[in-house]
Structure 1
Amino acid sequence: MTDYINPLISQRADPHIYKHTDGYYYFTASVPEYDRIEIRRAKTVSELNSTSEIISAWHKPETGPYSDLVWAPEIHFNDGAWYVYFAAAPTREIKDGLFQHRMYAISNKNSNPITDEWQFEGQIDTGMDTFCLDATTFSHNGKLYYVWAQKAEDIRGNSNLYIAEMKNPTELATAPVLLSVPEYDWEQVGFWVNEGPSILHRNGKFWMTYSASATDENYCMGLLYADENSNLLDPASWHKSEQPVFSTNWDKAVYGPGHNSFTVDEQGNDLLVYHARNYTEIEGDPLWDPNRHTHIKRLQWVDGFPVFGEAI
């Protein structure tokens, strides 16, 4: 079993690692400048730290609706092409307590996405013109699904979790279905937040982790799960944990672990990828503190359920 040195990658928040059929690991994350989409690849997870195969796939324009605060890119291979889903805003202005992010995508049809052939695909329209971010996709039984976080005008808080089926990798085929709202105390510290969903298909179930509360030491992860044979667009199919499954490790000084993704190691074992800080004394807004670092750990399974353990 591989022992990983943490942090795996410094100053990379909202980390997403995807292992493709070509044997490479692909990595995207928010950069401290929030001005571009960076992609790197390596033959092993550990080598993502030192690889020379790094590109800036897309830079934000100087002006326009997606010209600032490029957040949480994720790289996916859908329908025979590469896509990076991300959120961006027109400015850094906060209106009614929220930034003005919408969700977008870029694509690349080259077999090797570490090229400059990325094309801007435009906005992913959910039919709800409100703050939204943190999209991810997954496939099941020939259908492509889109999961994300978005503000609802009639629900208190910053964001809720939604799911929809996709017509193609950049368009939704169904209306958004609400899956989760920040209802528990641990989801409401600082801000009422459900965001950063990630999907893992194991043991006959779909497991959906997400992050909750403010992005300081109170940031933590929750869990939803649904049977693989259920209607994934039916909220009743999803069960929600009443307690966080992953949170600050005060003894080891790993603060605010969250915005995770999943991958597998070189032997096929499940890995939890997440960001965290190593201090709590943040000056000003935590959003502008660059020291959320990418961490990684082995995910355990007991009686078919994931056991996240402690942040390390």
Structure 2
Amino acid sequence: MRLTNPLIEQRADPFVYLHSDGYYYFTASVPEYDRLELRRAKALAELATSNEIVDVWHKPDTGAYSDLIWAPEIHYIDGTWAIYFAAAPNREIVNNAFQHRMYAITTTAENPLTGTWSEPTQVDSGLSSFCLDATCYKHNDQWYYIWAQKDAVIEGNSCLYIATMDSPTTLSSAPVLLTKPEFDWEVRGFLVNEGPAILHRHGRIYLTYSASATDERYCMGLLSIDENADLLDASAWHKSPQPIFVTDEEKKIYGPGHNSFTTSKDGSRDYMIYHARNYKGIEGDPLWDPNRHACIQPIEWSEQGEPIFGTPQNHVEFSE
């Protein structure tokens, strides 16, 4: 099958999860930043045309999580569905758009599209500052929480941290700093490390993340660690000095980033789901430009077992 990008238009920060029920679940930031939208399909290529699309939560008009609902992810944690998202107080009240904290809603329903979801619970990292873009990963029977947060003493907008979890909404260790913006490609426009995603293959755990401003300068970096190492040991992680996925001017794919990973149904192929624009002449603040589209990219593997991300593609040879 040949698939043409984008997979789904106007869905930034895309997250795809293949569950044991055979469905691919998809969520992302909507242009209005006002709700959590969830959809599912039996095939990746059918996510764009699925008629199973539900708004599972809408923001209130006021309160701590009443504005700028960003970058949701859905995870299934030991029998509980959890959607993690960043949210801020209403800008008209606090007069500052960037006061985000991380929240989660949960349900134990078999089908999360029809389940009753809890009210949002703040996921407290122990650091009282702007934070966003949390993901979760289970390794050796331990769940880990990885997220982006502003550090009070490090220059920049966000760094990446990791901690262990003892429930879908509670962390059980102190935050450990994994990476901060330091290379020239991480500090263009804004000093940013955000949008972590985990890919575990061939004895190593790979962590991709996004860097710089959310225009054509947005790009992706890579950390990796041996699967037998302590994930809370920051010194055990290796950081690539070069970006691994960047704008392709020729193909008119600009600012690729904030990705997630999934697989074919049989697990034989790895795919990266990311967002990008098809132009760079953004009018006004890029935050309010709605045309970050969800795209798909096959991941290849070298003979040494390392991921090859390649360059963004307009057309993807695709198999499920």
Range into which the TM-score falls when normalised by the shorter chain = over 0.9
Q: Distance in 2 between matches of 1:179 and 1:190?
A: 22
| Other-structure match for 1:276 | 276
- Flag structure 1 segments of 5+ consecutive residues without an equivalent: none
Q: Distance in 2 between matches of 1:267 and 1:177?
A: 35
CA contact (8 A) 2:261 2:271 kept: yes
Shift in Å, 1:279:
0.4
- What is the 5 A alignment of 1:144-223? 144-223=143-222
**Alignment CA distance shift 1:152-1:110 (3 Å):** same
Q: Distance in 2 between matches of 1:94 and 1:132?
A: 20
**Alignment CA distance shift 1:245-1:180 (3 Å):** same
| Other-structure match for 2:40 | 41
Q: Distance in 2 between matches of 1:140 and 1:4?
A: 32
Q: Distance in 1 between matches of 2:93 and 2:8?
A: 30
Q: What is the aligned length? A: 311
| Other-structure match for 2:56 | 57
| Other-structure match for 2:306 | 305
Q: Distance in 2 between matches of 1:26 and 1:292?
A: 19
| Other-structure match for 2:317 | none
Shift in Å, 1:169:
1.1
Shift in Å, 1:92:
3.4
**Alignment CA distance shift 1:82-1:252 (3 Å):** same
Q: Secondary structure at the match of 2:46?
A: helix
- What is the 5 A alignment of 1:103-182? 103-182=102-181
**Alignment CA distance shift 1:151-1:50 (3 Å):** same
AA at the equivalent of 1:59: H
Could you state the TM-score of these two structures normalised by the residue count of structure 2?
0.95
CA contact (8 A) 1:28 1:37 kept: yes
**Percent of aligned positions with the same letter in both sequences?**
61
AA at the equivalent of 2:305: G
Shift in Å, 1:91:
2.5
CA contact (8 A) 1:93 1:100 kept: no
| Other-structure match for 1:74 | 73
1:25 aligned to 2:19? Answer: no
Q: What does the per-residue CA deviation read over 1:13-42, in whole Å, with 9 as the maximum and x for residues that have no partner?
A: 000000001110000000000000000000
Q: Distance in 1 between matches of 2:214 and 2:95?
A: 19
CA contact (8 A) 1:98 1:131 kept: no
| Other-structure match for 1:85 | 84
Q: Distance in 1 between matches of 2:288 and 2:298?
A: 29
CA contact (8 A) 1:41 1:51 kept: yes
Shift in Å, 1:121:
4.1
Could you state the TM-score of these two structures normalised by the residue count of structure 1?
0.97
Q: Secondary structure at the match of 1:224?
A: strand
Shift in Å, 1:97:
8.7
